[in-house]
C-alpha cells in the first residue's frame, strides 16, 4: 500500500460546463427541491415517504405512527449530505434554510441519552439495538453522520455535528470489545465510512477504533447474528439465501475472497475496509480489499458497471453469472462501487480503479435518473421486454419505466449525494502529486502536501475525447489513461509532452506555470464481447464508445429486439443526430421475421430483411417512452 492519497473537498472545486455542469445545476435547482417535497409528502400521486413526518412524530411535534421501512431515516441523511455539497459550490439561502429546518428536526427527535432513530422512538425504545441484523440503526446513523459532517464543512454550523456526535458517542459506549458492551456489528454496513469521516474531521481516535472494531468483529465465530436471532426466538438459516453470506459475515473480512451477498452491503463494507486500512496502515486489510475488488470487476460486474445478479437478496451469485434480463444491478450498488474504487485509488494508483468508476458513473449511475431528474430506476437491467417484466414473476423486479419515487427510496438521494460530491472522486492529492481520475470540466484549487495546485479542466468528455487542462503549481501530475483507449496524443503548450506511462496513468513532472495540456483520446465505436463463461452473452456483442455503453431501444428499432442481428464486420458509424448531447450510432444489420404461425417446425421458419440498427447511450434509455431495450445483440457472420 502506497502512502495514502486524499480525496479533495468539493468546496475546492467548481464544476462548470461539460456533461456534469448542467447535471449539478439540475441537482441544486430541481432534484433537491423535488426530493425535499417528497420527503415532506407534498407531491400527490406518488409513493409516500413520511420521512420528515416520522421525525416530527419522534420529536413530539406531530401525532401518528411510524410509516415506511426501518431505514427511512437514511433518506434525510443522504438529502442533507447532497444539500451540503451543493451549498459548497453555490450559496443558496432557500436550500440552506430547508437544511437548517432538517437539522432542528433531528435535534428535536434526539433522545436525552443521544439516541436518534425514528423507528424505535416511535415504536418501542426498549428494543433498540436488539436486532442489528435487520433493523438498520447503525446504517441510518452512518448516513445521518455523513450528512452532518458534510453540512458542517459546507456552512461551519456546528449544530448538526453536535447532535450526531452525541449519538455516535452513545454508540461508541454501547458497542465494543469491553465487558458489558455489545459485541455486535451492523447488519447493513455504512457507519464505518461515516466514522472515518468523523475521525478525519476531529482526529479523535475513538471514532476510528469503533470503525475498525466493526470491521474486525464481522464474521467471527460464534456468529453474533445467529445468537441474536436465537434471543429473538427466531430460526436463522446461516446457509440460506439470507444467511451469513448475505450479510458478509460468513468469514472474517481478511479471509473473504469473493464479493458475496447483498451487493450494496458488500460494497459499503469493502469501502469501509479500505477507509480503515488507509488510516491504520493495515496492509493485510488493504490486500483483502484488492482481492474483493478484482473479483467483482473481473468476474461479477456487468459491462455497464452494474453489480448484483439476482433480485433474491439483491445479491451477487457466482462468477460469470450475469443475466441481462434478470439483472438487479441496483443503482445504489453502482454508487457504492464508485465509493469503493475511489478509496482503492487512495492507496494504489492504478487505472483499473478509475476504469471501474467510469463504467459505473457514466452508465448505471446516470441511467438511474431521468433527464429531468424527477424519475428514478432502482433496478438497471441490460435487457428489457415490458410484457415479460409485467407478467413473469421472475422478472417483476425489472421496471421498463422510471418512477417518480420508490417505496424503498434509497437510490434517488444516493445519486444526489454522489453526483453533488463528484470532485471527491475526480481528483486526489498526495504529498507531491495531483492525480486526475475523472475528466470533469471545472476548476480545482487544491494542495498536494504543502504545494498549492491549480487545475482548470475544459472538456465535454465522454461525449468528446478532447481534454484541455491548464495547470499551475510545483507538484507532479498524473492523468488517467482509460483502458478503452487505443490511440491518444498528449501535448504541452502545443508541443509533444514529456511523460511516463505507468499502471493506467500518464505522469508529468512539475513545476507548472499556467501550462496548457492538450489530451486527445480517440473515441471510436467498438464491439465488446463478454467472456465465454458468461452464458447469457454467448454469440452476442455490445457496443461501446469510450466508457459509454450503448443499447438498442424500441423507439428507434421497433419491437422484438431479440430478432435483430448485427453483422460481425460491418462498421459502426456516428450519425449527426444527438440525444442529450451524446452521439448516436448506427450500423447496417438484419431483422428476422417469423415465416408463419407454427409454434415448432422441422425447418427454419424465419426470413430476414435488411435493417439499420440504431444505438443510443445506455444511460439515456427509457427517456422517450416505454419499450424494449437490449445492450447485447446477436451477431451474424454476414
Cα separation of 556 and 563, whole Å?
14
Give residue for cell 430476414. Answer: 608
Residue 253 DSSP class = G
Q: Is 321 exposed, middle or buried (0-12, 13-18, 19+ CB in 10 A)?
A: middle
Residues 288/296, Cβ–Cβ less than 8 Å:
no
CA dihedral angle for residue 480, residue 90, residue 364, residue 590, rounded to 10 degrees: -90
- 192, 314, 330, 358: which one is catalytic? 314
Cα separation of 380 and 400, whole Å?
10
Residues 523/469, Cβ–Cβ less than 8 Å:
no
Cα separation of 172 and 175, whole Å?
6
**Closest to 470 in 3D by CA, of 505, 499, 434, 504:** 434
Helical H segments across 46-158, by residue range: 51-58, 73-89, 93-109, 118-122, 132-135, 137-155
Q: Which three cell numbers stand for residue 505?
A: 496513468
> Burial letters for 238-261: b for 16+ Cβ neighbours within 10 Å, e otherwise?
beeebbbbbbbbbbebbebebbbb
Question: Which SS3 state, helix, strand or coil, does residue 580 take?
Answer: coil
- The continuous run of DSSP H or E covering 549 comes out as strand 548-553
- 86, 289, 332, 410: which one is catalytic? 410
CA dihedral angle for residue 416, residue 422, residue 425, residue 426, rounded to 10 degrees: 160
**Closest to 38 in 3D by CA, of 75, 10, 8:** 75
Give the full edge-to-edge strand order of the sheet including 476-480.
6-7, 427-430, 433-436, 476-480, 505-508, 500-502
Cα separation of 391 and 214, whole Å?
42
Residues 6+ apart with CB under 8 A from 94: none
122 included as an active-site residue? no
Residue 5 DSSP class = P
> Burial letters for 270-293: b for 16+ Cβ neighbours within 10 Å, e otherwise?
bbbbbbbbbeeebeebbebbbbbb
Helical H segments across 232-365, by residue range: 263-280, 283-299, 331-347, 351-359
Cα separation of 208 and 573, whole Å?
53
146 included as an active-site residue? no
Rg for the chain, CA atoms, rounded = 25
Cα separation of 462 and 362, whole Å?
8
Cα separation of 58 and 110, whole Å?
8
Residues 6+ apart with CB under 8 A from 585: 525, 543, 545, 550, 572, 573, 574, 575, 614, 615
- Which residues are catalytically annotated? 314, 410
Amino acid at each position: 500500500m502506497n502512502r495514502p492519497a486524499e480525496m479533495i473537498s468539493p468546496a475546492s472545486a467548481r464544476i462548470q460546463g461539460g456533461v456534469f455542469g448542467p447535471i449539478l445545476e439540475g441537482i441544486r435547482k430541481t432534484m433537491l427541491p423535488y426530493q425535499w417535497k417528497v420527503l415532506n409528502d407534498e407531491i400527490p400521486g406518488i409513493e409516500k415517504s413520511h420521512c420528515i413526518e416520522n421525525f416530527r412524530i419522534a420529536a413530539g411535534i406531530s401525532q401518528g405512527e411510524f410509516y415506511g421501512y426501518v431505514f427511512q431515516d437514511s433518506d434525510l441523511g443522504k438529502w442533507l449530505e447532497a444539500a451540503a455539497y451543493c451549498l459548497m459550490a453555490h450559496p443558496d439561502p432557500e436550500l440552506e434554510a430547508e437544511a437548517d429546518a432538517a437539522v432542528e428536526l433531528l435535534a428535536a427527535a434526539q433522545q436525552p441519552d443521544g439516541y436518534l432513530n425514528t423507528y424505535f422512538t416511535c415504536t418501542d425504545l426498549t428494543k433498540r439495538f436488539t436486532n442489528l441484523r435487520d433493523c438498520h440503526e447503525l446504517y441510518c446513523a452512518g448516513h445521518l453522520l455523513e450528512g452532518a459532517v458534510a453540512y458542517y464543512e459546507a456552512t461551519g454550523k456546528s449544530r448538526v455535528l453536535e447532535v450526531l456526535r452525541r449519538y455516535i458517542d452513545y454508540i461508541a459506549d454501547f458497542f465494543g470489545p469491553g465487558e458489558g458492551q455489545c459485541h455486535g456489528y451492523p447488519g447493513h454496513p455504512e457507519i464505518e465510512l461515516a466514522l472515518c469521516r468523523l475521525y478525519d474531521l476531529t482526529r479523535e481516535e475513538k471514532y476510528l477504533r469503533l470503525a475498525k472494531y466493526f470491521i474486525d468483529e464481522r464474521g467471527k465465530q460464534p456468529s453474533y447474528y445467529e445468537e441474536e436471532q436465537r434471543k429473538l426466538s427466531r430460526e436463522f438459516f446461516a446457509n440460506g439465501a439470507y444467511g451469513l453470506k448475505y450479510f458478509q459475515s460468513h468469514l472474517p473480512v481478511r479471509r473473504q475472497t469473493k464479493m458475496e451477498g447483498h451487493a450494496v452491503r458488500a460494497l459499503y463494507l469493502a469501502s469501509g475496509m479500505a477507509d480503515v486500512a488507509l488510516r491504520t496502515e493495515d496492509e493485510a486489510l488493504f490486500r483483502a480489499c484488492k482481492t474483493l475488488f478484482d473479483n467483482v470487476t473481473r468476474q461479477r460486474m456487468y459491462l455497464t458497471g452494474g453489480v448484483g445478479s439476482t433480485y433474491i437478496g439483491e445479491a451477487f451469485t457466482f462468477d460469470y453469472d450475469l443475466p441481462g434480463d434478470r439483472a438487479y444491478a441496483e443503482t445504489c450498488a453502482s454508487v457504492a462501487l464508485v465509493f469503493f474504487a475511489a478509496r482503492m485509488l487512495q492507496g494504489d494508483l492504478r487505472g483499473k480503479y478509475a476504469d471501474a468508476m467510469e463504467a459505473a458513473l457514466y452508465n448505471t449511475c446516470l441511467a438511474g435518473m431521468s433527464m429531468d431528474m424527477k424519475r428514478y430506476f432502482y433496478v438497471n437491467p441490460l435487457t428489457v421486454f415490458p410484457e415479460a417484466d409485467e407478467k413473469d414473476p421472475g422478472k417483476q423486479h425489472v421496471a421498463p419505466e422510471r418512477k417518480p419515487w420508490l417505496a424503498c427510496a434509497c437510490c434517488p438521494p444516493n445519486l444526489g449525494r454522489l453526483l453533488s460530491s463528484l470532485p471527491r472522486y475526480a481528483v486526489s492529492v498526495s504529498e507531491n502529486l495531483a492525480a486526475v481520475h475523472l475528466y470533469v470540466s471545472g476548476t480545482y484549487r487544491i494542495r498536494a502536501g504543502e504545494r498549492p495546485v491549480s487545475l482548470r479542466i475544459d472538456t465535454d468528455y465522454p461525449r468528446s475525447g478532447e481534454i484541455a487542462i491548464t495547470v499551475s503549481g510545483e507538484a507532479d501530475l498524473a492523468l488517467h489513461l482509460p483502458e478503452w483507449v487505443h490511440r491518444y496524443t498528449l501535448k504541452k503548450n502545443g508541443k509533444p509532452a514529456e511523460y511516463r506511462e505507468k499502471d493506467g496513468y500518464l505522469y508529468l513532472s512539475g513545476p507548472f506555470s499556467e501550462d496548457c495540456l492538450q489530451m486527445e483520446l480517440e473515441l471510436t465505436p467498438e464491439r465488446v464481447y463478454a467472456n465465454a463463461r458468461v452464458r447469457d452473452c454467448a454469440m452476442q456483442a455490445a457496443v461501446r464508445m469510450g466508457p459509454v455503453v450503448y443499447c438498442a431501444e424500441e423507439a428507434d428499432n421497433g419491437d422484438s429486439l431479440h430478432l435483430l442481428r448485427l453483422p460481425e464486420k460491418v462498421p459502426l458509424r456516428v450519425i449527426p443526430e444527438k440525444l442529450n448531447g451524446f452521439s448516436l450510432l448506427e450500423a447496417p444489420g438484419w431483422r428476422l421475421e417469423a415465416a408463419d404461425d407454427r409454434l415448432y417446425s422441422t425447418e427454419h421458419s424465419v426470413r430476414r430483411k435488411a435493417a439499420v440498427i440504431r444505438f443510443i447511450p445506455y444511460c439515456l434509455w427509457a427517456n422517450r417512452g416505454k419499450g424494449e431495450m437490449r445492450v447485447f445483440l446477436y451477431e451474424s457472420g454476414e
